[in-house]
Amino acid sequence: MEVIICDTDAEVGRVAAAAVAQSARAKQARGGDPVLGLATGSSPLSIYAELARMVGAGELDLSRARGFALDEYVGLPPGHEQSYAEVIRRTVTEPLGMDPALVAVPDGAASDLTEAAQRYEAAIVAAGGIDVQILGIGGNGHIGFNEPGSSLASRTRIKTLAPRTRADNTRFFASADEVPVHCLTQGLGTIMDARRAVLVAQGEQKAAAIAAMVEGPVAAYCPASVLQFHNAAIVVIDPAAASRLELADYYREVYADKPAWQRF
């Protein structure tokens, strides 16, 4: 796990976007089309802003890239502005110049959710797997909507949101009662299959989860800790999110001492 501590959110976005763009361009150089795993939430917005800048400047072309969202609420009517299908359309597909036909979100309105989850897994496999998975982290250590207790080998499936997650996400809804109780989410096993994982976090409210993920034991209690087993996971965080890391100074030193070609 590579931990990169950046001074500002804009720098978090710049570094993480550079890692994503590097994976995308490497795939294109091999004659393929990149497959991106897409997170919602506030954390990756600075990544998407920087990727949109690159696309606008002609430095990156994602018009043939495929996208797979991490998760979706169950029970919101299609077109609901807080459904992740809509959030992904507004914050990713359109600004990054992606083709909507190539961007998939789990179908939280399906009558058979188990079948919808299996179909989603099959679609990822059919696309050749995810090249680079963008991730945020919940205050309780979730990635996607894999709440504490999730199997470290889980695949896309229905989950019940933890009370803290529902409380955290109340800000997007008119009242706490309107926050859905269930969701479909890529599993931890699905996320681990991505060739590269880029996780971003900002702010003191993420500091405990980041410390547990990076320096705690690998345990379903902190689902993100499974990334310790990933061979290409990059964690890009601001100083507040890094504030409970015991080895923060060491991670800063490691990154500062890297040769320029290994940096982002």
**Residue 78: count of CB within 10 angstroms of its CB:** 10
Q: Which of 9, 121, 131, 147 is catalytic?
A: 147
Out of 50, 131, 142, 238, pick the active-site residue: 142
Nearest to ligand GLP of 42, 114 (CB atom): 42
Provide the minimum distance between the beta carbon of 99 and ligand GLP in the complex, in angstroms, as a whole number.
23
What is the three-class DSSP state of 101? Answer: helix
Q: Which CB, 23 or 133, lies closer to ligand GLP?
A: 133
C-alpha radius of gyration, the chain, whole number: 17
249 flagged as catalytic: no
Nearer to ligand GLP, 24 or 39 (CB): 39
Could you list the residues that contact ligand GLP (CB under 6 A)? 39-43, 70-71, 136-138, 144-145, 165, 169
- The rounded distance, in Å, linking the Cα atoms of 253 and 244 is 17
Min dist CB 198 to ligand GLP, Å, is 12
User: Based on CB atoms, which residue is closest to ligand GLP, 27 or 242?
Assistant: 242
**Annotated catalytic residue within 121, 140, 169, 193:** 140
Which segments of the chain are extended strands (E)?
A: 2-5, 35-38, 66-69, 71-73, 103-104, 132-135, 157-160, 182-185, 196-201, 233-237
Q: Which two tokens stand for residue 100?
A: 């909507």
Is 147 considered catalytic here? yes
The question of whether 142 is a catalytic residue gets the answer yes
Question: Among this protein's residues, is 140 annotated catalytic?
Answer: yes
Residue 157 contacts residue 123 (beta carbons within 8 Å): no
- Write out the catalytic residue numbers: 71, 140, 142, 147
